[in-house]
Structure 1
Amino acid sequence: MKFSNIKIAFFDTKPYDRRFFEQENESFGFDIHFFEPRLNPDSVSMAHDYPVVCAFVNDNLGAATLEQLAKQKTKLIAMRCAGFNNVDLAAAHRHDITVTRVPAYSPRAVAEYTLGVLLTLNRSLHRAYNRVRDNNFSINGFLGFDIFDKTIGVIGTGKIGLTFIQILQGLGVHILASDPYPNQAAAAELHYDYVSLDELYARSDVISLHCPLTPDNQHMINRRSIAKMKTGVYIINTSRGKLIDTAALIVGLKKHKIGGAALDVYEEEGDYFYEDLSASAIADDILARLLTFPNVLVTSHQAFFTREALTNIGRITLQNIADFLEGKLTIKL
Structure 2
Amino acid sequence: MKLLVYSAKKFEIPFIRKANDDRHSITYTKDALDSETAFQALGYKAISIFSGDDASGIVLEKLWDFGVRFIVIRSTGFNNIHIKPAYALGLKVANAPNYSSHAIAEHAVGLLLALNRKLILADRQVHQYNFLLDDLMGQNLYGKTVGIIGTGNIGAVMVKIMNGFGCKILACDLEPNINLVELSNVTYASLEAVCRKSDIITLHIPLSYENHQLINKKRLGWMKKNTILINTSRGAIVEHKALLQALEEKRIGAYGADVYEKEKGIFFKDNSGIGIKDGQLKKLLSFPNVLLTPHQAFVTEEALENIAQITIQNLNEFEEGKTCKNELGYETLIL
TM-score normalised to the size of structure 2? 0.96
Q: How high is the sequence identity, in percent, across the aligned residues?
A: 37
- What's the counterpart of residue 327 of structure 2? 332
CA distance in 1, matches of 2:32, 2:13: 15
Match of 1:157 among 148, 151, 168: 151
Query: Pairwise mapping of residues 53-202 of structure 1 onto structure 2 (< 5 A)?
Result: 53-202=47-196
Query: Pairwise mapping of residues 243-258 of structure 1 onto structure 2 (< 5 A)?
Result: 243-258=237-252
Q: Which runs of 4+ in 1 moved over 3 A?
A: none
- What's the counterpart of residue 208 of structure 1? 202
CA distance in 2, matches of 1:141, 1:272: 32
Per-residue deviation, residues 110-159 of structure 1 (Å, max 9, x unmatched): 11111111000101111211221122222222211111110000000110
Tell me the secondary structure at the aligned position of residue 130 of structure 1.
Answer: helix
| Deviation, structure 1 residue 185 | 2.9
**Count of equivalent residues:** 327
- What's the counterpart of residue 290 of structure 1? 284
- What's the counterpart of residue 332 of structure 2? none
| Deviation, structure 1 residue 268 | 0.6
Give the counterpart letter for 2:52 in structure 1.
N
| Deviation, structure 1 residue 307 | 0.2
| Deviation, structure 1 residue 91 | 0.7
| Deviation, structure 1 residue 23 | 1.8
CA distance in 2, matches of 1:139, 1:50: 58
Are residues 1:9 and 2:4 paired? yes
Are residues 1:233 and 2:230 paired? no
Question: Structure 1 regions of 5+ residues with no counterpart?
Answer: 1-5
Tell me the secondary structure at the aligned position of residue 15 of structure 1.
Answer: coil
Are residues 1:25 and 2:3 paired? no
8 Å Cα contact 2:6/2:28 also seen in 1 = yes
CA distance in 1, matches of 2:284, 2:196: 24
Cα RMSD after superposing both structures = 0.9
CA distance in 2, matches of 1:158, 1:327: 30
| Deviation, structure 1 residue 315 | 0.5
CA distance in 2, matches of 1:89, 1:181: 24
CA distance in 2, matches of 1:160, 1:219: 20
Tell me the secondary structure at the aligned position of residue 185 of structure 1.
Answer: helix
CA distance in 2, matches of 1:52, 1:324: 10
- What's the counterpart of residue 3 of structure 1? none
CA distance in 2, matches of 1:41, 1:281: 25
